[in-house]
Structure 1
């Protein structure tokens, strides 16, 4: 496994620790029902990292800088952990099939530019940093990494099957998510000139 895979696993470990005990609106484990799904939808390592971490500062009293520091600590721990001990980690078999299906280089250190790109996306994905939901969606539409993750996030959130007995409030929220999804898909098409 390459360094980038370790970065992705480190992000998953940070997310799993921060969201431990959290459930989604259907009462399912939040990490397994949502974060793993969003991260698994990512095409490259940055999308997977942001997919795992996109709700951390929004849901908990931590800053994006705190999240990045936790990520650094987990990366260091994994790099210093002999590979033969990886199999003893609980996450290895649970995540391996979902996470290792993407291009991976053998060595990589997160550059300052990549770190800034991840931090910017995580900040934009925290709705508390915007004055309104409209501004939140608008800001995300202008950042390619945040845009792709928010689309994956919305796809997961639109899945009503996660909620056993949906209420009118659930259906209304999903309708709002669908509208936001269409706005962001249009922004993606414009970015890609499709």
Structure 2
């Protein structure tokens, strides 16, 4: 299951880069996966997929539904922030799903990694540090 998730993540995020211009899968998605217990196959599967619906083309969610168990799809749904969605509502949804919350904790760890943040210009770094501080507080992490 994790292998299928990695394959889909690599397909969806092909050519994408993070805010520092690094390959998105290598710099972020694989890092999120690596922050989870190697024995946590379901968590690692969700970690590979956590940004696929939000960042991928239309129809990506349909691929998830066809290929993964309901628990995985529900966690990815919880982690998918809608374009017009209020952040507080998003954080409440993530907090309500223990699997999504576990992956979000790893996601925030990756996003706030000092090495990754050091690659950003000061204004972007400050903006993101505040965003992630707010997220941690809202999620109780």
When normalised by structure 1's length, the TM-score is 0.64
Question: 2:50 is matched with which residue: 54, 58, 70?
Answer: 54
Aligned Cα RMSD in Å? 1.9
Which sections of structure 1, spanning at least 5 residues, go unmatched? Answer: 1-6, 73-109, 187-194
Q: Give yes or no for contact 2:53–2:61 (8 Å, CA) kept in 1.
A: yes
Q: Distance in 2 between matches of 1:129 and 1:120?
A: 18
| 1: CA distance, partners of 2:73 / 2:29 | 17
Q: Give the Å deviation of 1:179.
A: 2.3
Q: What does 1:111-190 align with in structure 2 at a 5 Å threshold?
A: 115-128=69-82, 131-163=85-117, 164-186=119-141
Q: Give distance in 2, aligned partners of 1:125 and 1:32.
A: 20
1:48-80 CA distance string (max 9 Å, x none): 0000000001002234222343xx3xxxxxxxx
Q: For 1:79-121, what per-residue CA distance to the aligned partner results, in whole angstroms no more than 9, with x for missing partners?
A: xxxxxxxxxxxxxxxxxxxxxxxxxxxxxxx7xxxx1111111
C-alpha contact 2:6 2:48 (8 A) present in aligned 1: yes
1:154 Cα deviation from its structure 2 partner: 0.9
Q: 1 or 2 for the larger relative contact order (CA 8 Å, sep ≥6)?
A: 1
Distance (Å, rounded) in 2 between the aligned partners of 1:177 and 1:8: 27
Task: Supply the distance in 2 between the matched residues of 1:50 and 1:19 (Cα, whole angstroms).
Answer: 15
**CA, structure 1 residues 139+129, in 2 after alignment: closer, same or farther (shift >3 Å)?**
farther
- 1:20 and 1:179 map into 2 onto residues whose CA distance is 30
Query: Which 4+ residue blocks in structure 1 deviate beyond 4 angstroms?
Result: none
Note the alpha carbon deviations across 1:132-170, whole angstroms, 9 max, x for none. Answer: 011101111111001111111111111242252423133
